[in-house]
Amino acid sequence: MLSTRVKIFFLFLGDLIIFSAALLLANWIRFGTALYQKEFIISIKYFAVVFSIWFLLFFISRLYELPYLRNRKEFFVLALKLFIVGALLSLLIFIIWTPQYVPKVVLFLTLCFSLIGLTLWRTIFNFLVVIPKVPVLLLEEAPEREYLEKFIRENPQLGYYLARKEDIRPGQKCIVVTNNTSKHLFPNNKNVIFMHFGDFYEQITQTVPLSQLNEEFFKKNYKYNIVYEFIKRMCDIIGGIILLIISLPLWLIIALLIKITSEGPVLYRSKRVGLHQKDFLIYKFRTMVKDADKIGPAWTLKNDTRITWFGKLLRKTHLDELPQVLNIIKGDTSFIGPRPEEKKLVELFKKEIPFYEKRFLIKPGIVGWAQINYPHGSSVEDAKHKLEYDFYYLKHRSLIFDFLIAVKAWRIPFEIPTH
pLDDT digits (tens, 9 = 90+) for 289-301: 876 666 655 556 6
Please compute the mean of the pLDDT values over residues 268-275 and round it to a whole number: 91
- Band of pLDDT at residue 308, cut at 50, 70 and 90: confident
Q: What is the pLDDT of residue 301?
A: 60
User: Residues 46-77: pLDDT tens digits?
Assistant: 888 889 989 988 888 888 988 888 888 888 88
Helix (H, G, I), strand (E, B) or coil at 2: coil
- Band of pLDDT at residue 9, cut at 50, 70 and 90: very high
Q: What is the pLDDT of residue 101?
A: 74
Q: What is the pLDDT of residue 117?
A: 95
User: Residues 197-244: pLDDT tens digits?
Assistant: 999 999 999 999 999 999 999 999 998 899 999 999 999 999 999 999
Q: Please give the DSSP secondary-structure letter assigned to residue 288.
A: B
Mean pLDDT of the chain: 87
Q: 3-state SS of 374-409?
A: CCCCCCHHHHHHHHHHHHHHHHHCCHHHHHHHHHHH
The span from the CA of 403 to the CA of 409, in Å, is 10
Radius of gyration of the chain (CA): 25
E-assigned strands of 121-227?
A: 134-138, 160-162, 174-177, 192-195
- Identify the CA nearest to 284 among candidates 299, 305, 264, 269: 269
The span from the CA of 338 to the CA of 162, in Å, is 33
Is a pLDDT exceeding 70 seen at residue 413?
no
Q: Considering Cα of 384, then 385, then 388, then 393, what sign does the dihedral take? A: negative
Phi-psi label, residue 331: left if phi above 0, alpha if psi -120 to 50, beta otherwise: left
Give the chain's length: 419
Q: What is the pLDDT of residue 45?
A: 81
The span from the CA of 225 to the CA of 31, in Å, is 58
Beta bridge partners of 161: 135
Cis, bond preceding 340 (omega within 30 deg of 0): no
Q: What is the pLDDT of residue 1?
A: 58
Is a pLDDT exceeding 80 seen at residue 375?
no
Phi-psi label, residue 276: left if phi above 0, alpha if psi -120 to 50, beta otherwise: left
User: Residues 314-353: pLDDT tens digits?
Assistant: 888 888 899 999 999 999 999 999 999 988 889 999 999 9
Measured between its terminal Cα atoms, the distance across the chain in Å is 27
The more confidently predicted of residues 150 and 179 is 150
Main-chain dihedrals φ then ψ at residue 138, nearest 5 degrees: -95, 105
Q: What is the pLDDT of residue 247?
A: 93
- Identify the CA nearest to 324 among candidates 384, 274, 378: 274
Is a pLDDT exceeding 50 seen at residue 418?
no
